[in-house]
Copies of this chain bind each other. A is one copy, B any other.
Amino acid sequence: MDTELLAKLAAPSDTKIVLSVVDGLGGLPDPRTHRSELETANMPHLDRLVTESVCGLTIPVDYGVTPGSGPGHMALFGYDPLHHEVGRGVLEALGIDFDLQRSDVAARGNFCTLDAKGKITDRRAGRIPTTLTAELCQQLSQIELPGVKLLVEPVREHRFILVLRGEGLEEGLAQTDPEREGVEPLLVQPTSEKSKTTADFVNQFVKQARDVLSGQAQANGVLLRGFAKYPDLPSMPEVTKMRAGAFAVYPMYRGLAKLAGMTVSPGGGTQESQLEALKSRWDDFDFFFYHFKAADAAAEDGDFRAKVLALEEYDKLIPKLRELGADVLMVAGDHSTPSQFAAHSWHPVPFLLHSKLGTVDRVEQFTEAACLTGALGTFPARHALSLAMANAGRLMKYGG
């Protein structure tokens, strides 16, 4: 259901919905055992929950599309991720808990190595340590341009963000990274007339950055890409008439929830402490987003065993999630991350919806293969929210 229809059908109610996202939930069978991470893990609580739920598989974005964290979460928050894009610069800023303003333009930056002629010899500046990057960002932050404020913050290794703050800034800018070595960085080109002033600011920054960094051996240049402003999303709480709270250890996921208009609880701590925080705010919200990271982190490292252990850790949280007594509890993934790929993938993601209505299907295990036979079938992830709202008695009838 698109957000316009959702806004039309959403009705206030006292019911509560919990969306528990297991990052990188889906996987693929280990070629030796023919069993996926979910099929290998010992998950007694999920095994029990699944028999009292309806299941399916979600397609985060589209057939064959491997989603980043942004679109994967946006879909579960009810947005069509193809129509509501979150720019790279913005995602990078969210990832370091940067307090991005609506009028800011953010870009993702790399330190790079330039030769005497200004040609790129290493697009990643030998992956300089984060500590050096932090120091250099400090220096670049001193650059002053009339009419705009420049903020430069380290991310990790050679990566940083550049944020331009001021009035009338526009995101329509092409990248300066030529994506190959042996050539000079590109000048920023505005993609439309109205971003011309912003392009001038960026080009002046890049030029002055070269001066500031001239004493550096490796990191004597910068490459910029993913210029983006805060996306103009319809507010999920307004659309759904639900007060929504987000509970996540890592900044990226709190940031995505903030983009959707959710109230974001302080981050950090452990999965357990975030779940405690959620519980303590039970009366304050109707919708709760709870993020679990470790499964994706293990799978991104290509560590099948670690992902299995992470899933088993998640399983231990299930009794606490159930104790909350939500009208609807969803266990979902933002995308699959098969350990063999050591990367995100396009594969449909197991999904479970437990409702006080008590509807069940015949799925008995929370695995990729079993969820395929679930009553919900294989469906676009962006419909999970409307299914949950229907089950929570929060949607009116359509048509007379």
CA distance A299 to B82 in the complex (A): 40
Measured between beta carbons, the chain B residues less than 8 angstroms from A399 are 61, 67-72, 81, 85-86, 91
In the complex the two chains form, is A387's CB within 8 Å of B64's CB? yes
> Interface residue count for A (Cβ, 8 Å)?
59
Measured between beta carbons, the chain B residues less than 8 angstroms from A5 are 62, 65, 82
Measured between beta carbons, the chain B residues less than 8 angstroms from A113 are none
The 5 closest A-B pairs by CB, nearest first: A64-B386, A63-B383, A64-B390, A68-B399, A91-B400
* CB of A170 within 8 Å of the partner chain: no
CA distance A361 to B28 in the complex (A): 11
* CB of A51 within 8 Å of the partner chain: no
CA distance A226 to B399 in the complex (A): 10
In the complex the two chains form, is B369's CB within 8 Å of A400's CB? no
CA distance A360 to B373 in the complex (A): 15
* CB of A269 within 8 Å of the partner chain: no
CA distance A226 to B314 in the complex (A): 49
Instruction: List residues of A (378-398) whose CB comes within 8 Å of B's CBs.
Output: 378-379, 383, 386-391, 395-398
In the complex the two chains form, is A398's CB within 8 Å of B31's CB? no
* CB of A1 within 8 Å of the partner chain: yes
0/1 interface trace, chain A 246-262, chain B, CB 8 Å (1 if under): 00000000000000000
In the complex the two chains form, is B400's CB within 8 Å of A65's CB? no
Distance in Å: Cβ of A8 to nearest Cβ of chain B: 10
In the complex the two chains form, is A386's CB within 8 Å of B69's CB? no
In the complex the two chains form, is A66's CB within 8 Å of B400's CB? no
* CB of A131 within 8 Å of the partner chain: no
In the complex the two chains form, is A395's CB within 8 Å of B66's CB? yes
Measured between beta carbons, the chain B residues less than 8 angstroms from A72 are 399
* CB of A312 within 8 Å of the partner chain: no
CA distance A240 to B9 in the complex (A): 32
